[in-house]
Amino acid sequence: IPGGMYDRRPCKADGMVIGRTSAFYLDHATGIIIRNSSVTWGNIRPNYYAYALESHNVDSLKLINFDGQSAFPAKLSAVRKEE
């Protein structure tokens, strides 16, 4: 699978999600806690790398002691939350 795609099979929806690659990617979830976690990107960062954490349609997301930046801090925030 090339970068910039998520494989969420098996599921009732489309199995492949096309987008950028974030360190943590959450989609349609409830009651998520991410605790004592960090994101460190390597020196080689393809253009499809994105956020430290990206969430879509997540209800009740709690970050405790979460540390990290996006792959491109001058262009993107560390966290992207989309309702």
H or E element in which residue 54 lies: strand 53-68
Q: What is the mean pLDDT of residues 75-81?
A: 97
Structure pTM?
0.86
Residue pLDDT, tens place only, 11-63: 777 777 888 999 999 988 999 999 999 999 999 999 999 999 999 999 999 99
**Tell me, what's the pLDDT at 18?**
83
**Tell me, what's the pLDDT at 1?**
59
Whole-Å CA distances, 75 to 58, 61, 65, 66: 24, 24, 23, 20
